[in-house]
Structure 1
Amino acid sequence: MAIERRIARAEFTLTRDYPVPVGRAWDAFADEHQKLSWWGAGDAVTPGEWAFDFRVGGRDIAEGKFHDGPVSRYEATYTDIVEQLRIVTTYDMWIDGSHMSTSIATLEFDPIDGGTRFTHTEHGVFFDQFWADGPNRANGTEGLLASLGDYLS
């Protein structure tokens, strides 16, 4: 069966306030052991390959198999890191070996009374059979931010 060749674009911004200092929220991304504690789909995924290289030009990989579902693969490159202020990545997603999307994500950390305002802004391009998944990316990211919130509290 031939794959229909098309793309879709999606962009979104999610903002969350976490009741911890900026340094604590930052470390949840910058420290590998902390990131492993909250990143991913928890018990819904059997972990696979993992790589963590938090520096400009460094690459992260997170792969896992959803129970009774597909293998998801995330590969990111850090393009800009300003300590306790912002992280910018470009990343690609694959589902069962098929290239699903390419995105740029900007993560911002702002001090507020009582904690940190975290803002995730993303611009993505979704390929071929995955074109309709663009709007769902925000839902997946909301799940990650909820997991981060649970970890920080």
Structure 2
Amino acid sequence: MTIERRLARAGFTLSRDYPIPLDRVWDAFADEQQKRAWWGAGDAIEPGEWAFNFRVGGRDVAEGRFHDGPLSRYEATYTDIVEHVRIVTTYDMWLDGIHMSTSVASLEFESFGEGTRFTHVEHGVFFDQFWADGANREKGSQGLLDALGSYLA
């Protein structure tokens, strides 16, 4: 079987206003127990390997198998962290052991009133058979922000 070699690029910006103080939203990313409570696909996935090292140069790993479906693997490196302001990561995704994408994501935290405006900006490169997956990545990121909102509520 020959794999068609190709690249596709996709980018998106998502913004959410959470009626929660900024330090609480920040802690949902910076504290391992809190992040584990909301990160991932919830009941749709059987969790596997997990690693959490929230520092510049630190790595996160989240792996899991969707029920009756593929094994998903996320590996991120923190490239910039400014407490209560921003988190920047580069990350790679695999599906059933096949490298599907590399992305850079910036997560920004801004106080407004008594709440927090959270902005996620991402640019990704999708490989070979996953070339058209940018829309799914945006949808998956929206799901994570929904899960974060539910966790914070």
Same fold judged by TM-score > 0.5? Answer: yes
Partner Cα separation in structure 2 for residue 15 and residue 5 of structure 1: 33
The letter of the residue matching 2:62 is A
Instruction: Provide the C-alpha distance between the structure 2 equivalents of 1:7 and 1:64, rounded to a whole number of angstroms.
Output: 25
Q: Percent sequence identity over matched residues?
A: 75
Task: Report the number of matched residues.
Answer: 153
Q: Residue in 2 aligned with 1:23?
A: 23
In structure 1, stretches of 5+ residues that fail to align are none
In 2, Cα distance between equivalents of 1:62 and 1:4: 28
C-alpha distance in structure 1 between counterparts of 2:2 and 2:149, whole Å: 42
Q: C-alpha displacement at 1:114, in angstroms?
A: 2.7
Say which SS state the counterpart of residue 132 (structure 1) adopts.
coil
Spell out the pairing of 1:4-153 with structure 2 (5 A cutoff): 4-153=4-153
Structure-2 separation of matches of 1:144 and 1:41:
8
Moved segments of 4+, more than 4 Å = none
Structure 2 Cα separation of the partners of residues 122 and 95 of structure 1: 19
Shift of 1:113: 1.4
Query: Structure 1 residue 82: deviation in Å?
Result: 0.0
* Alignment TM-score, normalising by the size of structure 2: 0.99
For 1:110 and 1:70, locate their aligned partners in 2 and report how far apart those are by CA, in whole Å: 36
Unaligned runs of 5+ in 2: none
Q: TM-score, normalised by structure 1?
A: 0.99
| Code of the aligned partner of 1:22 | L
- Once residues 136 and 38 of structure 2 are traced to their aligned partners in structure 1, the CA distance between those partners, rounded to angstroms, is 20
Q: Which string of whole-angstrom CA distances, capped at 9 and with x for unpartnered residues, describes residues 21-46 of structure 1? A: 11000000000000000000000000
Q: Distance in 1 between matches of 2:74 and 2:23?
A: 25
